[in-house]
Amino acid sequence: MNRLAFYALCAAATLLVPSARAFNIVANGRAQAAVLVDPQATESAAKAADELIVYVEKMTGQKLRRIDRPNTAWKTIRIGAPAKFSKSDEIAVFVNRRGELEITGEGTRGPVYAVFKFLETFGVRYWSPWRETVPEVKSLSVGNNFKLNHKPAFESRSGWGVSHSGHEPRFASWRMKMGANASVPKGFGTPHVVNISETMTRKYLKAEKYFAEHPEWYALVDGERKRTQICQSNQEAVDALIAEVRAELAANTNCTSISLGSDDNDKFCRCDGCRKILAQDDCGDTALEIHVANQVARAISKDYPRAKVSILAYWTKERPPRKMKLEPNVVVGMALGRNYAYPVTQSQAWMEKADGWARAADSRIYIWDYYANFRNFQEPRPDAINIVPNVRHYHSRGFLGASAQLSIGTFSTFGEMKAYLWSQAIWNAEVDADKIIAEFIAANYGKGAGQVRQYWDLMVNALKKAEAPSMGNYGSNYEQWFTPEMMFTSWRLINEALKLTEDDPLANRQCEYLLVAVINDFVLRWEKAEIEKRLETARLTVPIVSRPALVRQLDEICRKYRYPSYWSEQIGWDKRMDDWREKYKEAER
């Protein structure tokens, strides 16, 4: 980021020049403050102090000292002092009455979030596990009336995207910097665990364990007992489930979240008993899941008052109950399908179901959202524009948690930007999406940012102008609104961006990722979009020779990055290239 943009970014929040009326951390290249971990702080405050020292050194070249008690040689930065907070993970940074800079936060993780968010006010940005912006400055200070107070929009925050989901420490570290809390690296506090998954017949009442002896515990489907689901009206099965859950809670006193989601299929029981339960309400298989969850919830509420039981509003269980009541210790994971081309507020069906669930569960809702086509992570799909409007809606309804499945492929179109925007929004629903997107593109695509921005706008405008855009989790009609002309424009823009970033390896790599998405589309739509015919009149600076030539180019890029991760949910890039090398070999001219 250039210096001018950086100053503009920070001017509102902080002072960058030393001043008598300011708390100086570093002034004119000399450290003025030292870091004190409050004696009453939670364990993670020590990690928070380490992170602050590391980043201040990166920014100023000055390594702040750690001190055990305030002294006259240094101003004190006090980390992790207990304070009153109203929200889980809330953070506060301010100059206290003793003239110390206090950086603190709620609970076991709060001080760490406080440091990372404080650093953001100086222009530090954690774009992805691979790239950060850390401004270099001579002085670092805040005004004496400086105040940073964030109350995270949701108590449970997570995501599954290209930047979230890796086992290397850099992923865990990035999630922490972004304020996520579902999994937390050692020493950074305890994770906020909310189990929302499909556990029935897999974790609880395992079919492999019980089906042979008790087929009647399992679903009657087309007149036959099947392992697909349990028989929710079978009291013996429910009692066995309660025993399993109680045993788990007894063995693990820290466990506060029991997921009772049905398995991922629509083959539910239709025995006489289950039909009676279904008839109690007008909400489909939802009734069966609630019938079981309520019994488990009642059975554990007294002995395990902190534990919650979760159900899953998904697929054949999307409809909320009208008559059945949820026990107060039942929470709902809500993964309602919709047309992802639009914000949720524009889907009447989604809104009706979601509002019904919010009423039934008194807003004890954990959103499970989607921003990807799992059949092709590279397709033109600017669904990120809906993230902030959606998150604001979830926040306005008082939902407790927000998680989303995002594009996970390394080459997924703007996958890292999506992961970044989602993470920022679920921490603070009031973020300015346009500003974040502008910043992200400027910082990540270097001298190619102008072209990349045009490519992004091309997709966004095409989507906005589309007459009836349709986006599902497993497909979309983007070919109807992202025209062949737009494909050629994308080709030109991204090739220009590549040329412009030749001397900037990081930005060049980001542009090359986008080129993969562009080529991918040409390969897929070669016939339908009549590319060969169009090439006769197209004037291209960088020529397109043939589909086999494009496949060869893709293969070269893939080899360079060692065939990274996923083309789709089911297919890796290695497999994709094996198929395409074979398929387009014959056709070569």
CB of 211 to Zn ion, least distance (A): 14
Least distance (Å) between residue 509 CB and Zn ion: 55
| Residue 231 contacts Zn ion per CB under 5 A | yes
Restricting to residues 278-307, name those near Zn ion by CB under 5 A.
Answer: none
Is position 441 an interface residue for Zn ion (rule: CB under 5 A)?
no
Q: Bridge-partner residues for 381, per DSSP?
A: none
Q: What separation in angstroms does the CA of 270 have from each of 49, 218, 279, 319? A: 58, 10, 11, 18
- Distance of alpha carbon 361 from alpha carbon 84, whole angstroms: 28
- Using the minimum distance from each CB to Zn ion, give the nearer residue, 70 or 273: 273
**Please, what is the minimum distance in Å from the beta carbon of residue 321 to Zn ion?**
18
Residue 324 or 443: which CB sits closer to Zn ion? 324
In the block, residue with structure tokens 């001190």: 67
Quote the least distance from Cβ 215 to Zn ion, whole Å: 11
Q: Is 60 strand, coil or helix?
A: helix
Number of residues this chain uses to bind Zn ion (CB under 5 A): 5
Stretch binding Zn ion (CB under 5 A), from 31-39, 199-207, 233-241, 298-306: 233-241
Q: Please, are residues 182 and 158 in contact by the beta-carbon 8 Å criterion?
A: yes
C-beta closer to Zn ion: residue 106 or 285: 285
Strands of 468-555 (E only): list them.
Answer: 471-472, 475-476
Contact 94, 102 (CB under 8 A): yes
Cα separation, 435 vs 29, in Å, equals: 31
Contact stretch for Zn ion (CB under 5 A) within 73-81, 224-232, 349-357, 572-580: 224-232
Contact 339, 437 (CB under 8 A): no
Q: How far is the CB of 234 from Zn ion (least distance, A)?
A: 6
Query: In what helix (H) or strand (E) does residue 387 lie, and over which residues does it extend?
Result: helix 387-396
Cα 527 to Cα 488, 522, 534, 579: the distances in Å are 15, 9, 11, 18
Contact pattern from residue 244 through residue 283 relative to Zn ion, giving x for each residue in contact according to CB under 5 A and a dash for the rest: -------------------------x-x--x---------
Of 269 and 330, the one with the shorter C-beta distance to Zn ion is 269
Closest CA to 193 of 223, 155, 147, 231: 155
Site membership for Zn ion, residue 205 (CB under 5 A)? no
Q: Which stretch binds Zn ion (CB under 5 A): 61-69, 232-240, 251-259, 529-537?
A: 232-240
Q: How many helices (H) and strands (E) does the chain have?
A: 19, 21
The residue range among 189-197, 227-235, 320-328, 579-587 that interacts with Zn ion, by the rule CB under 5 A, is: 227-235
Site for Zn ion in 377-406 (CB under 5 A): none
Pairing of the two strands 401-406 and 308-314: unpaired
Give whichever of 258 and 274 is closer to Zn ion, judged by the CB atom.
Answer: 274
Residue placing its CB nearer to Zn ion in the complex, 207 or 426 = 207
- Token pair for residue 6? 């950086």
Using the minimum distance from each CB to Zn ion, give the nearer residue, 271 or 500. 271
For Zn ion, which is the closer residue by CB, 276 or 435? 276
Q: Which is nearer to Zn ion, 142 or 269 (CB)?
A: 269
To the nearest whole angstrom, how small is the minimum distance from the Cβ of residue 236 to Zn ion?
Answer: 12
At closest approach, how far in Å is the CB of 232 from Zn ion?
Answer: 6
In the complex, what is the shortest distance from the CB of residue 316 to Zn ion, in angstroms, rounded to a whole number?
15
Q: Are 289 and 262 in contact (CB under 8 A)?
A: yes
Smallest separation, CB 220 to Zn ion (Å): 6
Among 32, 128, 199, 233, binds Zn ion (CB under 5 A): 233
> Smallest distance, Å, CB 320 to Zn ion?
22
Closest CA to 228 of 269, 196, 286, 197: 269
Q: Are 310 and 335 in contact (CB under 8 A)?
A: no
Label the pairing between strands 147-150 and 140-143: unpaired
**CA distances to 18, 95, 121, 137, 343 from 145, in Å:** 15, 7, 15, 22, 39
CA-wise closest residue to 347 among 469, 263, 450, 182:
469
Cβ(368)–Cβ(315) below 8 Å:
no
DSSP designation for 372 = S
Q: Which is nearer to Zn ion, 271 or 519 (CB)?
A: 271
CB of 274 to Zn ion, least distance (A): 3
Tell me how far, at minimum, the Cβ of 196 lies from Zn ion, in Å. Answer: 24
| Pairwise CA distance, residues 419 & 23, whole Å | 34
Which residue number, 275 or 585, has a Cβ lying nearer to Zn ion? 275
Cβ contacts of 574 within 8 Å, gap of 6 or more: 558, 563
Residue whose CB is less far from Zn ion, 239 or 430: 239
Tokens 């429910």, residue located:
238
State the residues that interact with Zn ion by CB under 5 A.
Answer: 231, 233, 269, 271, 274
